[in-house]
Amino acid sequence: YSTIAAGMNSLSAVIFQDFLKPYCLKGMSDAKSTIATKVLALCLGVLCLAATVGASKLGGILQAALALYGCLSSPMLGLFTLGIIFPWANAWGALAGVLSSISIMTWISVGHYSSKVRAYMPPVSVAGCGINITSLAENVTIVNKSALPEYVYPTGIEGLYSVSYLWYNVMAFAIVIIVGLAVSFATGKCDRVLVKVCLLICLYVLYKQVEVLLNISEVM
């Protein structure tokens, strides 16, 4: 408990000093600042308890952590990739790509946990499988013909909710790239002359070298 209390107190102090006091609570005395910090620590503790209760309803902690990572961290990876590979991506495209990715993946994640749709799990029953029993005296084949229940694949929006959480990272990354490039071209792509080559990945440098060689060959 001491570690949790220390973390709550540190977080409340940082929030108070960096965000609340400079803008909302200017000129507050030290005594009132101490009280405000304690109240903030209490609120953070309540939020942590609520998050704990919510996490217990989500199922596996690993699944919830990977889903959260796919919703929040993968768009950041897509943002950096968009900037270092595509020099014509502009600020509007980057902003639209990140916001779209976070919004769509959060919607899919919440829909997955709130709905009853689950991904298809292959059956583990051996019903319908032939069993060969061989001995010195006889060769007997026993077949169990009991039928397995047929799985009905979800369609429409339920099919989207049934996507495995392991695909969230790829989906979030792809949304940033696709939306970012589309919005960048729609709003007037960034001038490549203004982009420093040292900030781009080596693949773009190689592309520029090949482009120069092709232009030289056309002139010759």
Q: Using pLDDT thresholds of 50, 70 and 90, give the confidence band for residue 153.
A: low
Comparing 64 with 27, which gets the higher pLDDT?
Answer: 27
pLDDT at 137 over 50: no
What is residue 167's DSSP assignment?
G
Q: Which tens digits make up the pLDDT trace of 101-127?
A: 999 999 998 888 787 666 666 666 666
* pTM for the model: 0.57
Comparing 133 with 203, which gets the higher pLDDT?
Answer: 203
Phi-psi region of 69 (alpha: psi -120 to 50; beta: other; left: phi over 0): alpha
